[in-house]
Structure 1
Amino acid sequence: MTKNRTALLFPGLGAYSTGMLRQAAREHPEVAETFAEIDRAAAHHGVSSVTQVVLHGEPRPIREMLSLPTEILQLAIFGASVVTHRVLTAAGLRPYALLGHSFGEMAALVAAGAFSLADGVRLVCARAEALADWEGKGAMAAIGANEAVTGHLIGALDEPELVIGCLNAPKQTVISGPVEAIERAGRAAKALDLFYAKLHLPYASHHPSARAAVGRFLGLMDGIEQKPLEHRVYSPVHGRWYSDSDDLKLAVAECMVLPVRFTDAVRDLHAADTTVFVEAGALNALTRCVELTVPGVRTIAPLLDPADETGGLRRALVGQADPPKPRADNASVVVAPVEIPAAREPELGKEAVLAKLRALYSTALEYPEDALTEQALLEAELGVDSLKQTALLSRVVEEFGLPDQPGELRVWELPSLGAIARHVLESSARVPS
């Protein structure tokens, strides 16, 4: 008999959403309590209030967050994962497994009780400090291909410093390496009609060149106490369940240089009767990868819609899948070029921009234009994954002549055609004719 087990997924460094947790905080006191704990611990490391940034004042888009000290954004992401776990388990959820992706392993281990929340904050700050010397010296990019094809691409380029950093879904592989090598791989991928998107990360994670950072990280963890695990934690980096006999500080440090085999981990959990996967954090990057890896399971991303976080958390408690997402018949195709006249004329209006955007997205995704309404959420409602959105936003920049650099726009800030149209209008007004 199927056990219908639930796994909580703890995302990595991309899991930030403008205004996240504000609605949830009105109903769940755990939100404010957890961030108050994080603030107290972070103050010992010279980090200012994360609560003030996440829960108070005007919601901050990712660009503003990136301009703040590194620890602020990382603690916000870490805190969102810990809060999601706390709210769900306090309400009675008993997950079969906790699964962290890269940076997310620290939150998973805190949620499992292996480290206190204060020590988890220390881990986040120590990791950021350990990697500081590597910032700007490497990059990462997603390729729309499986491991074998991506490996052949790296081999054909004769780029020995390029490595496979993450296997996220059957046809989503992330490469890691020097900036110039990543860019050459991007040109080759595009020539082969493979999807390519450079990730917004300041260094080459999961790359052996950062081996020295492992020792530095371990030194900064000195004095942190490891406690018995209260939940089962499966590591997609080490490919197995963690146990109390593991040196979990070393395991977390090794996550910086070893590849993430998320696809294998999801299949292992699914084989053990895990049929419900819940994103413990903002957005739905991991649940989308799960859907591509083991179709037919139930996936819930409670914090995906900032206006319905409490509803999302309720769905997670009962294992109710997120609302159905209409998809194009050929949703896995690589986005094709679309010719659209640049919209730079002074009389450009919102309806004209929306019409051009509908034409672009409809042709590229093979969706009917009437499905592409102003308010429809591209990922949550229409099933357009973040990689395709990134590619399309680059085309929006090019076709509308915007001042943004291609690939610079964040999909979680522009979740609908209405939001994209507003950005086009605002940016066009700043562009000299």
Structure 2
Amino acid sequence: MFAGQGDFAVSSLVRAVRAVDTLSRAVGEVFDEIDPVAVGRGLPRLGPWLLGSAPPSGRDLAEAPTGSVQLALFGASMAVHRALCRCHGAPEATVGVSFGEIAALTAVGVFSVADGARIAHDLARVLADCPGGLTLLACSEQTAGALLELAGAPDVAVACVNDERETVVSGPLEQLAAVEACAGERAVPAARLRLPFASHHPALGAAAERFAAAVRHYGTKAAGRPVYSAVAGRPYTGGDDIPGRLADCLIRPARLPEVLRQAARRHAPAVFLESGPGSALSRNAQRVLTGTTTAVHAPLDGTGFPWLAGQPERISQPGGPPCP
């Protein structure tokens, strides 16, 4: 599972890199492919920074040139994926959520790592022209819709449905503040995401067209395995216009529960692994898949994920030595 931009725990990545040799090597290899793209676009080389003695904080990345955060998150996601493949084999399928679709498609060979990095940077440049913000509400999509009406926020839209208890809304900052105030009055926890843009909003049609045009410059190959899109609500097919579908992430909501259930049914028995430096997506998946036999892990959450080479049957068991 490849998450969007709302949960990038740089400290989790740094801690895991120092503890797991396979992951450390994968980070070095992936950023060797990404850093020429970064330098060519006026960004710092991220590999030496992340692997150095003084790695960046989330604030450092946020204050770096536009696109630095996105390239770092894309690279971290691809490095975790590469390390997981070496330790447990290639996945039967990938799931992409919003920005995570770029990595999910790269992981199955649709894009090269370098082109995936270019696409991540292209998206960052487009998002820089998408004013507004995103707010996480601890409630269902239905309750979120009611809050938008009560707050008188006609330009705020549901952006992401993470599970039955988490919904993200997107729109102008003033109207988001009204929604947050309304939520507080009704004891619904609300938190503004640290993302300086709106996304998954129907008013971003022009931005979506620019992004699709940028993606069309890169070559694509047939996916080696199914890619489930939380925005499309299904796995992609050979007939999908991938640039257009990626651009849909700017204008259409991502609804995670149904696409996770589809993947769990079609690939049962399933183990879902979060391929990236966060763990929020795994928590959502655990809630969605409660009551099933599906196991869910966030390998970088610090709880002792078993990086065991060649023993996928033990992936749901705690403990074990790190993969060499």
Determine if contact 2:126/2:210 at 8 Å carries over to the other structure. yes
Taking only the aligned residue pairs, the percentage that are identical comes to: 33
- SS of 1:246's equivalent in the other structure is coil
Quote the offset at 1:44 in angstroms: 2.5
Determine if contact 1:303/1:312 at 8 Å carries over to the other structure. no
User: Aligned AA for 1:304?
Assistant: D
Q: Give the distance between the partners of 1:263 and 1:184, measured in 2 at CA.
A: 27
Partner of 2:196: 202
- TM-score, reference length from structure 2: 0.89
Q: Which residue, 214, 222, 230 being the options, matches 1:228?
A: 222
Residue 238 (structure 1) aligned with residue 232 (structure 2): yes
Partner of 1:301: 298
Quote the offset at 1:15 in angstroms: 2.2
Quote the offset at 1:25 in angstroms: 6.2
Determine if contact 2:32/2:47 at 8 Å carries over to the other structure. yes
Partner of 2:152: 158
Q: Give the distance between the partners of 2:46 and 2:229, measured in 1 at CA.
A: 28
Quote the offset at 1:21 in angstroms: 4.8
Q: Give the distance between the partners of 2:226 and 2:299, measured in 1 at CA.
A: 21
Quote the offset at 1:24 in angstroms: 5.6
Q: Give the distance between the partners of 2:88 and 2:224, measured in 1 at CA.
A: 15
Determine if contact 2:22/2:83 at 8 Å carries over to the other structure. no
Partner of 1:15: 8
- The aligned runs of 1:363-382 (5 Å cut-off) are none
| Alignment length (residue pairs) | 311
Partner of 1:261: 255
Q: Give the distance between the partners of 1:16 and 1:123, measured in 2 at CA.
A: 22
Cα gap change, 1:32 to 1:231, in 2 (>3 Å)? same
Residue 125 (structure 1) aligned with residue 125 (structure 2): no
Quote the offset at 1:103 in angstroms: 0.5
Q: Which residue, 118, 140, 143 being the options, matches 1:146?
A: 140
Q: Give the distance between the partners of 1:63 and 1:166, measured in 2 at CA.
A: 24
Q: Give the distance between the partners of 2:170 and 2:307, measured in 1 at CA.
A: 34
Unaligned stretches of 5+ residues in structure 2? 320-324
Cα gap change, 1:53 to 1:25, in 2 (>3 Å)? farther
Cα gap change, 1:312 to 1:55, in 2 (>3 Å)? farther
Q: Give the distance between the partners of 1:25 and 1:49, measured in 2 at CA.
A: 22
Q: Give the distance between the partners of 1:304 and 1:314, measured in 2 at CA.
A: 16
Q: Give the distance between the partners of 2:165 and 2:288, measured in 1 at CA.
A: 9
- SS of 2:170's equivalent in the other structure is strand
Cα gap change, 1:27 to 1:145, in 2 (>3 Å)? closer
Determine if contact 2:282/2:297 at 8 Å carries over to the other structure. yes
Residue 249 (structure 1) aligned with residue 256 (structure 2): no
Give the alignment's Cα RMSD to 1 decimal.
Answer: 2.1
Q: Give the distance between the partners of 1:138 and 1:52, measured in 2 at CA.
A: 33
Cα gap change, 1:274 to 1:222, in 2 (>3 Å)? same
Residue 287 (structure 1) aligned with residue 282 (structure 2): yes
User: Which range moves more in the overlay, 60-69 or 161-170?
Assistant: 60-69
Partner of 2:177: 183
CA offsets, 1:336-366, max 9 Å, x none?
xxxxxxxxxxxxxxxxxxxxxxxxxxxxxxx
CA offsets, 1:54-85, max 9 Å, x none?
11131222122211123222111111111122
Residue 97 (structure 1) aligned with residue 90 (structure 2): no
Partner of 1:275: 270
Quote the offset at 1:229 in angstroms: 0.6
User: Aligned AA for 2:183?
Assistant: A
